[in-house]
């Protein structure tokens, strides 16, 4: 039985993927940011009669990050992320630093520990990065979040090449979902002072974010069972075509 750790699994993609994988026979560990979130998650899992293990793992905290050395995981799903909305024209750069500290630095450091302490012994395993189409398309008022996801895309691509160069059988997979109405986007636009901009973007994102989370979970599962060298996975054909058109017109 493969053991999977999913970070940022309080709700949304992380939580739903954990439930999905448990039903497929995986040994799942869900990690959340705070002790309060951990208590809530445990209650939710208990009500569902789930045997999933829940832990507190703040990926911005080195002591927490080092916990994964003792978990003996086969697959790391880097899902933890925070979103801060606002115009790059005048956004507070301290908020941008906070965004990068979680989405980029925390994610990269956790992956480094995972590789160094869990994979070097057996030289195999899998790291899955949950990115976003926001890392490809320039979307107004999501700049801080978007540039962190663009960074995650590059981290995955470089890591794949570096691991191959040292003959380490560690697969890197990159998932690029579109918009999903999980409450994540509402939080992003809550940082925008201009309420008319905030409300308009919320409406747009809610109208677009009707995709089923099961589609993302299934895409992640496909990346887990795949043994090929494919790096990028998108959740549906429409999103794949959209990216191809964008690259054709603007690259």
Residue range 18-35, pLDDT digits in tens: 999 999 999 999 999 999
Domains in the chain: how many in total?
1
Residue range 197-243, pLDDT digits in tens: 656 555 555 544 455 667 899 999 999 999 889 999 988 777 778 78
User: Can you give the pLDDT at residue 141?
Assistant: 85
Residue range 53-90, pLDDT digits in tens: 999 999 999 999 999 999 989 999 999 998 888 889 99
Length of the chain as a residue count: 251
Q: Residue 111: pLDDT above 60? A: yes
Containing domain of residue 227, as a range? 3-250
Residue range 132-160, pLDDT digits in tens: 988 888 888 889 999 999 999 999 999 99
Coil, strand or helix at 95: helix
User: Can you give the pLDDT at residue 124?
Assistant: 75
pTM score: 0.88
- Are 81 and 13 in contact by the 8 Å Cβ rule? The answer is no
Cα–Cα dist 251/247, whole Å:
5
User: Can you give the pLDDT at residue 241?
Assistant: 80
Coil, strand or helix at 115: helix
User: Can you give the pLDDT at residue 181?
Assistant: 53
DSSP characters for 132-186?
-GGGTS--TTBHHHHHHHHHHHHHHHHHHHHHHHTT-EEEEEEE----B-SSHHH
Q: Which two tokens stand for residue 19?
A: 């439930």
Alpha-carbon radius of gyration of the chain: 18
Cα–Cα dist 207/181, whole Å:
9
User: Can you give the pLDDT at residue 184?
Assistant: 53
Arithmetic mean of pLDDT over the chain: 86
User: Can you give the pLDDT at residue 67?
Assistant: 93
Phi then psi dihedrals of residue 72, to 5 deg: 50, 55
Give the CATH number, domain containing residue 25: 3.40.50.720
Dihedral of CA atoms 229, 231, 236, 240 in degrees, nearest 10, equals -110
User: Can you give the pLDDT at residue 169?
Assistant: 81
Q: Residue 101: pLDDT above 90? A: yes
Q: Which two tokens stand for residue 225?
A: 């069972």
């Amino acid at each position: 039985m493969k053991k999977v750790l999913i970070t940022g699994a309080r709700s949304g993609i992380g939580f739903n993927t954990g439930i999905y994988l448990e039903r497929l026979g995986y040994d799942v560990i869900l990690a959340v940011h705070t002790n309060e979130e951990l208590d809530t998650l445990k209650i939710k899992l208990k009500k569902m009669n789930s045997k999933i293990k829940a832990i507190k793992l703040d990926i911005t905290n080195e002591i927490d990050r080092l916990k994964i050395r003792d978990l003996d995981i086969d697959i790391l799903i880097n899902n933890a992320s925070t979103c801060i909305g606002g115009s790059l024209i005048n956004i507070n750069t301290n908020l941008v630093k906070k965004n990068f500290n979680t989405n980029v630095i925390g994610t990269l450091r956790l992956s480094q520990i995972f590789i160094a302490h869990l994979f070097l012994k057996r030289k195999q395993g899998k790291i899955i990065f949950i990115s976003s189409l926001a890392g490809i398309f320039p979307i107004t008022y999501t700049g801080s979040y978007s540039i962190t996801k663009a960074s995650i895309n590059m981290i995955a691509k470089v890591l794949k090449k570096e691991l191959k160069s040292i003959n380490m059988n560690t697969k890197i997979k990159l998932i690029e979902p579109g918009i999903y109405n999980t409450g994540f986007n509402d939080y992003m636009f809550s940082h925008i002072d201009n309420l008319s901009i905030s409300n308009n973007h919320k409406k747009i994102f809610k109208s677009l974010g009707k995709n089923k989370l099961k589609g993302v979970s299934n895409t992640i599962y496909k990346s887990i069972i795949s043994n090929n060298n494919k790096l990028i996975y998108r959740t549906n054909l429409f999103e794949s075509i959209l990216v191809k058109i964008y690259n054709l017109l603007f690259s």
